[in-house]
Amino acid sequence: MSSAGNRCAGVTMALAGAASCLVAVSASAQYPDRPLRYIVPQAPGSASDTSARIIGHELTRILGQQVVVDNRPGGGLTIGIDMVVRAPPDGYTIGYGNIGGLAINRVVLPKVPYDVLNDVQPIAQTNSGSQMLAVWNSLPVKSVRELIDHAKANPGKLLNGSSGNGTPGHFAGELFKQMAGVNIAHVPYKGGAQAMTDMMAGQVQLIFESMSSISQHHRAGRLRGIAVTGLKRVAGFNELPTIAEAGVPGYDMTVWAGVITPLGVPKAVIAKLNDAVNKAMAAPSLKEKFAINGVETVGGTVEEFAALIRREVDKYERIAKTLKAKVD
């Protein structure tokens, strides 16, 4: 090719590159111009599903586009998170990333198809809180101390239902067993709703479950809440002590969640999503719905959520080594 031809080719490539940049900038400016998919790695009726639908409703209002919840349970939360990771990085697929999917399953599952520290783009933390430790109504237990005594008198006979392997409820139970020195069998389900249904029928005798999904059953007397898993009592449920103050000093299982998306999403789109999530979490109607269920709204920057994920991964890797906790 002649030098003139080379110059022409170079100019053409430069113009093409500039055009693609203009298209990307234009697309980011117009974002969003179609509905978003909000992947939830747990079943309908679970704590994650309940929270995500409340958040999705507010995001729909703020973004001006429908945010559609897509439940993808299974695999210790990895199926849904992996779908987020592998989605096109255009900002139209977001995910509900909680402590189980982003920190715990990394240390309790034998194989995770993604690296949460390198394959996930954090958007913002949405909420924080405790789980509730509850027991079957017919179990002769009304406190943490009585539960420990009953478990020690009946080693291996109590069944602890959870919403699945690698979930916060699973890990909360493993931590409780280790710190309280009791032998309780773990029974994983495909979602918290199914686990609680079986517990109310007496198929399992205790559960650690998110406040947002279990509180209605506690208030209605369908099961008996006896404690919460975090470091402080939960507003609206002050009758329930923390597990630490009720008989297991040092126990802490604070849970959290946030919005994530695939790597490679344009920075301008990430900024819009972060702004929308923060506005959603500050909405009075959302804060009221979360508070009823004992859940605190958070919000914050992309960097703050990324730092939380890194800290929690480190924390649960240390705890898992002590517990030797793995899936059943």
Tell which phi-psi region holds residue 17, choosing left (phi > 0), alpha (psi between -120 and 50) or beta. alpha
CATH of the domain at 155: 3.40.190.10
Residue 8: inside a domain = no
Burial bucket for residue 13 (CB in 10 Å: 0-12, 13-18, 19+): exposed
For the chain, the average pLDDT equals: 89
Residue 159: inside a domain = yes
Domain that holds residue 176: 131-228
Query: What pLDDT sits at residue 245?
Result: 96
The DSSP secondary-structure symbol of 233 reads P
pLDDT for 105 beyond 50 = yes
Given 210, 228, 246, the domain boundary residue is 228
pTM over 0.75: yes
Query: What pLDDT sits at residue 108?
Result: 77
Residue 193: inside a domain = yes
DSSP annotation string for 252-317: ---EEEEEEEETT--HHHHHHHHHHHHHHHH-HHHHHHHHHTTEEE----HHHHHHHHHHHHHHHH
The reply to whether 163 and 224 lie within a common domain is yes
Burial bucket for residue 223 (CB in 10 Å: 0-12, 13-18, 19+): buried
Coil, helix or strand at residue 121: strand
* 156, HSE (Cβ side, Cα atoms, 13 Å): 0
The reply to whether 62 and 198 lie within a common domain is no
Query: What pLDDT sits at residue 42?
Result: 87
Coil, helix or strand at residue 67: strand
The reply to whether 39 and 110 lie within a common domain is yes
Residue 119: inside a domain = yes
The reply to whether 112 and 179 lie within a common domain is no
Residue 21: inside a domain = no
pLDDT for 127 beyond 60 = yes
pLDDT in tens, 134-156: 999 999 999 999 999 999 999 99
Side chain identity at residue 322, one-letter code: T
The reply to whether 218 and 277 lie within a common domain is no
Coil, helix or strand at residue 30: helix
* CB within 8 Å of 292: residues ≥ 6 apart: 215, 236
The reply to whether 158 and 222 lie within a common domain is yes
pLDDT for 36 beyond 90 = yes
The domain tally of the chain equals: 2
Query: What pLDDT sits at residue 75?
Result: 83
Q: What is the mean pLDDT of residues 49-56?
A: 94
The reply to whether 204 and 280 lie within a common domain is no
pLDDT for 133 beyond 90 = yes
The reply to whether 38 and 119 lie within a common domain is yes
**pLDDT classification of 25: cutoffs 50, 70, 90:** low
Residue 17: inside a domain = no
pLDDT in tens, 187-235: 998 878 899 999 999 999 999 998 888 988 999 999 999 999 999 999 8
Residue 306: inside a domain = yes
The reply to whether 49 and 112 lie within a common domain is yes
Instruction: Give the residue ranges of DSSP H helices in the chain.
Output: 3-30, 47-63, 78-85, 99, 105-108, 116-119, 144-153, 168-180, 192-200, 211-219, 267-282, 284-292, 302-323
By residue count, the chain amounts to 328
